[in-house]
Structure 1
Amino acid sequence: MAEIETSLLGDPEKENAREEKEEEEDLGGTRLEAVTVEEAQLPISVEDRWKEYFETLEPELPSSLSEEALRALLQTRGEELGPAGREALSALLHREEHGAVSYGLFVEALSNKRRASFRCAVSQGLRSDVLEGGTAGSSVGVVGGSAGVGDRCLLSVARETLPRDSERRWFLHVYSGCPPPLLMPSISLAQVVVFVVYGLALGTWLLPTYDADFMNGSLLYSPPRRHEAWRFLSYALTHAGAEQLGLALLAQLSVGLPLEMAHGSLRIGAVYMAGVLAGSLLGSVADRRAPLVGSSGGVYALLSAHLANIAMNWSRMKGSFRVLRMAFLLLLMSAELGRAVWLRLSPRAAPAQPSFVPHLAGVWVGLTLGLAVLRCYEQRLRDQCCWRVASLAYAASVLLAVACNVAMGDPAGADRPPPAAAEAAPAGGH
């Protein structure tokens, strides 16, 4: 595939010549695969320092800085900014949203709240062999028909999960598939294995929750056995039938896997497990008599965060089938929630069926913690106010649920699972 070098700063011919020279010096003429930019060691008083500079231009520092003022700073004081500072300011000038820049955003860019290599990619439009166009606001697309299947898949992932062109460029530039996204496939495989083992042992593949041996299993959450702490997470490996497992696998592999590729296994795994834990804790308080099975807490956390991110950035998303994809996911969520509500509230022919509370808990986690993660692509989460607020709210909710479980004790009148066949036979045969 022919490589298209595009620069967003200055004269394109000079930029290309400079990049080729640096490439030959640093890599002996080989193709530059990644961009590394030294982090600028800015003074601690960076905010006050540049405030003094702008006050020399205007006695009272305005709330926003014009592009002309920033360009003048880049031309007259560029050496003082250092390499990373110049790249940060250049990226700020060539961002998608043109116009005046607040002083806070200016300080944030120079304070390195984003990685320097990310700022460089924003300004230079790297991985242009997969992109078309050469402006910061251009859409991300495949160059003609020359892109391979792998690049087209990556492009689809970028379009479906990342709202900004700069973020899509960076993802396409840095993604190498090493290490591969193994979290969602591993969870899905474990769930299939558990389901097959139970299915072969019980001889049933639909509604195993009516089977005593299944309800006495060691993985699902059972109110009388809530002192076994692992059940608050392990219940996500079990499912109430092939239909629930199928919907979970479809969501995890069609939405969870692309999100894992874009945002990383650690972040997506944290959102998923936060949804699972929130589902069991809320269920143990709000629906204390019901057992819990299924990965709906984690699945709904990812789906809710993804759908909310799409809705909030609708005009920026580049997916070709946004409406159909969103409608399909909403239909999927509604169908699974309806199935869970029907199973829980249907006339009881056996002890209490699994609760649908984890579905609701997953939605809450997705709209708070999950959305904060998806909105902070390639940013340090600890520096983001939305992440701190969502994390504190989640931690407080977990502590409150634990305190409620301790204070309320065992659920009064909880439906215990029916005894297994071996336990049901009276001793001595009477």
Structure 2
Amino acid sequence: MSIRSASSRGFKRRYSVVHLNDIAEEFWDNHDPQKAQRIPLGTVKEKILFSDEADGMSNALVIQLLQKADTNHDGHIEYDEFLHLKDSVEEYSLARHTFNKAALSVVPRSERTLKKRAYLQEYTCCPPPLFMISAMIIEVVVFTYYLVDMGLPMGVSGPAPTYSPLIYNPFRRYEAWRYISYALIHSGYMHIINNLIVQTILGVILEMVHGWWRVGFIYLSGVFFGALAHSITSPKTYLAGASGGVFAVEYAHLGNLLLNWSEMEYRWLQLVIILLFSGGDLSFAIYDTYFSPNPSNTGHMAHLGGAVAGILVGIYILRNLEQKRWEKYCWWVALVVFLILVGTGVVLNIALPVPEFFPYDDDSPILLAEERFRLRQV
């Protein structure tokens, strides 16, 4: 195999499993036993950047190979230079290696550019993923405030401050901020702990790769559309919890995965995990709604609304590949469908005829409010 043929192979060749020893063997051992040949830097770049081996190496090594290997700036790399850089793999910790693999798992292969690798290598969590960390801190602060303010023992699943101006109150739906701020209210320790754990697992890595504003937009879209879906299907029920946003982030992974299927690392594993989560939640929702003798107070429609928002918004927010024709159509369909759904939800919330739409006593003390009005948590 000549060097020219190695560099001119097609798209699939770039994604074949390659190891550093394979590169040395291909470029020097098989054709140049004296190790005197200089290999064009562009050929080595192509071989390493799009290989599976690059994901197993530290990002620092990849960056060095692509930027610093050509020490004399003649456009070629020598065997000794290659060996020196190869040895530097051992300098990096397992923790960094694990972080790199996890972060790259949500990036399509053709988007694993030098710029993204450099960012991941320099990433030290200082500053941390701003949106997800900030959201979690605010949720804990609000939860603690109302824990003290209510003056009631807090249990695993309640109580919740139904008098709060932040909670979604169906009788005060004209206070539009409640469609977002209800995500800051939680009912019981288990409620907030579950949401914080899932937000950390699903949101932080996605934000480190795609940026705070993308993940923030997806999260808030899920919170908002989850409230719209809940308010239409349960027009006289309170709502609290951040799961609408959590489900949006979870299903944004699914939209990103399906659009970039051929290039995603561990695509089957990611798909199976998402399907297990969604299948479990759907099964529980059906059982809890139609068959359970003691239905829970879970807001299943808010979960569904968040999931729908995550898929639709994720398609046109997280997709980074060069657009193919069908992907452009998919982008527009997702955008139009989401806008139609949101517009319909807003109109129905304004015009939906609900008895006692704005009662005068909806700010009654918490114990009385709990007795009179149901609360759904997500």
The alpha-carbon deviation at position 251 of structure 1 amounts to: 1.6
Tell me, in whole angstroms, the C-alpha distance in 2 between the residues paired with 1:125 and 1:288: 63
Q: Does 2:139 align with 1:195?
A: no
Which of 362-371 and 157-166 deviates more?
A: 157-166
> For the Cα contact (< 8 Å) 1:125–1:166, is it kept in 2?
no
In structure 2, what is the equivalent of residue 236 of structure 1?
183
> For the Cα contact (< 8 Å) 2:221–2:310, is it kept in 1?
no
Q: Decide which of 337, 340, 344 is 1:400's aligned counterpart.
A: 344
In structure 2, what is the equivalent of residue 142 of structure 1?
57
Stretches of structure 2 lacking an aligned partner (at least 5 in a row): 15-40, 59-88, 370-378
Q: Decide which of 134, 156, 159 is 2:104's aligned counterpart.
A: 159
Q: Residue type of the partner of 2:56?
A: G
TM-score normalised to structure 1 length: 0.58
Stretches of structure 1 lacking an aligned partner (at least 5 in a row): 1-8, 13-89, 100-122, 425-430
> For the Cα contact (< 8 Å) 1:344–1:355, is it kept in 2?
no
Note closer, same or farther for the CA distance 1:141–1:421 as it changes in structure 2 (3 Å cut).
closer
> For the Cα contact (< 8 Å) 1:293–1:354, is it kept in 2?
no
In structure 1, what is the equivalent of residue 155 of structure 2?
205
In structure 2, what is the equivalent of residue 5 of structure 1?
none
> For the Cα contact (< 8 Å) 1:244–1:336, is it kept in 2?
no
The alpha-carbon deviation at position 409 of structure 1 amounts to: 4.4
The alpha-carbon deviation at position 274 of structure 1 amounts to: 0.6
Q: Does 2:321 align with 1:374?
A: no
Note closer, same or farther for the CA distance 1:275–1:353 as it changes in structure 2 (3 Å cut).
same
The alpha-carbon deviation at position 240 of structure 1 amounts to: 2.7
Note closer, same or farther for the CA distance 1:392–1:422 as it changes in structure 2 (3 Å cut).
closer
Q: Does 2:219 align with 1:272?
A: yes
Tell me, in whole angstroms, the C-alpha distance in 2 between the residues paired with 1:254 and 1:136: 27
Q: Cα RMSD between the aligned structures?
A: 4.2
Note closer, same or farther for the CA distance 1:422–1:402 as it changes in structure 2 (3 Å cut).
closer
Identity across the alignment (%) = 30
User: Does 1 or 2 have the higher relative contact order (CA < 8 Å, sep 6+)?
Assistant: 2
Alignment of 1:8-23 (within 5 A): none
> For the Cα contact (< 8 Å) 1:309–1:375, is it kept in 2?
yes
Alignment of 1:102-181 (within 5 A): 134=48, 136-139=50-53, 140-142=55-57, 144-148=89-93, 151-164=96-109, 166-167=111-112, 169-175=114-120, 176-177=122-123, 180-181=128-129
Note closer, same or farther for the CA distance 1:204–1:330 as it changes in structure 2 (3 Å cut).
farther
Tell me, in whole angstroms, the C-alpha distance in 2 between the residues paired with 1:401 and 1:340: 21
In structure 1, what is the equivalent of residue 205 of structure 2?
258
Alignment of 1:274-423 (within 5 A): 274-310=221-257, 313=260, 316-319=263-266, 323=269, 330-331=275-276, 353=297, 355-376=299-320, 385-411=329-355, 419-420=364-365
> CA-to-partner distance for each residue in 1:361-417, whole Å, 9 max, x for gaps?
0111122111332222699xxx95543432232222222211112222445589986
In structure 2, what is the equivalent of residue 185 of structure 1?
133
> For the Cα contact (< 8 Å) 1:301–1:364, is it kept in 2?
yes
Q: Secondary structure at the match of 2:90?
A: coil
Q: Secondary structure at the match of 1:292?
A: strand
The alpha-carbon deviation at position 164 of structure 1 amounts to: 1.1
The alpha-carbon deviation at position 219 of structure 1 amounts to: 1.3
Tell me, in whole angstroms, the C-alpha distance in 1 between the residues paired with 2:273 and 2:109: 23
Q: Secondary structure at the match of 1:220?
A: coil
> For the Cα contact (< 8 Å) 1:158–1:168, is it kept in 2?
no
Q: Residue type of the partner of 2:245?
A: G
Tell me, in whole angstroms, the C-alpha distance in 2 between the residues paired with 1:421 and 1:257: 35
> For the Cα contact (< 8 Å) 1:154–1:172, is it kept in 2?
no
Q: Secondary structure at the match of 1:134?
A: helix
Q: Secondary structure at the match of 1:247?
A: helix
Tell me, in whole angstroms, the C-alpha distance in 2 between the residues paired with 1:235 and 1:194: 11
> CA-to-partner distance for each residue in 1:135-181, whole Å, 9 max, x for gaps?
63444222543224674254123332113154265421234447542
Q: Residue type of the partner of 2:352?
A: M
Note closer, same or farther for the CA distance 1:285–1:235 as it changes in structure 2 (3 Å cut).
same
> For the Cα contact (< 8 Å) 1:142–1:152, is it kept in 2?
yes
Q: Residue type of the partner of 2:155?
A: W
Tell me, in whole angstroms, the C-alpha distance in 2 between the residues paired with 1:419 and 1:339: 33
Q: Residue type of the partner of 2:158?
A: P
Tell me, in whole angstroms, the C-alpha distance in 1 between the residues paired with 2:366 and 2:51: 66
Q: Residue type of the partner of 2:314?
A: G
> CA-to-partner distance for each residue in 1:165-212, whole Å, 9 max, x for gaps?
542654212344475421101101111222222334332132225x6x
TM-score normalised to structure 2 length: 0.65
Tell me, in whole angstroms, the C-alpha distance in 2 between the residues paired with 1:258 and 1:377: 19
Tell me, in whole angstroms, the C-alpha distance in 2 between the residues paired with 1:124 and 1:373: 32
In structure 1, what is the equivalent of residue 21 of structure 2?
none
> For the Cα contact (< 8 Å) 2:218–2:309, is it kept in 1?
yes
> For the Cα contact (< 8 Å) 1:158–1:262, is it kept in 2?
yes
> CA-to-partner distance for each residue in 1:257-284, whole Å, 9 max, x for gaps?
1000100001111111111110111212
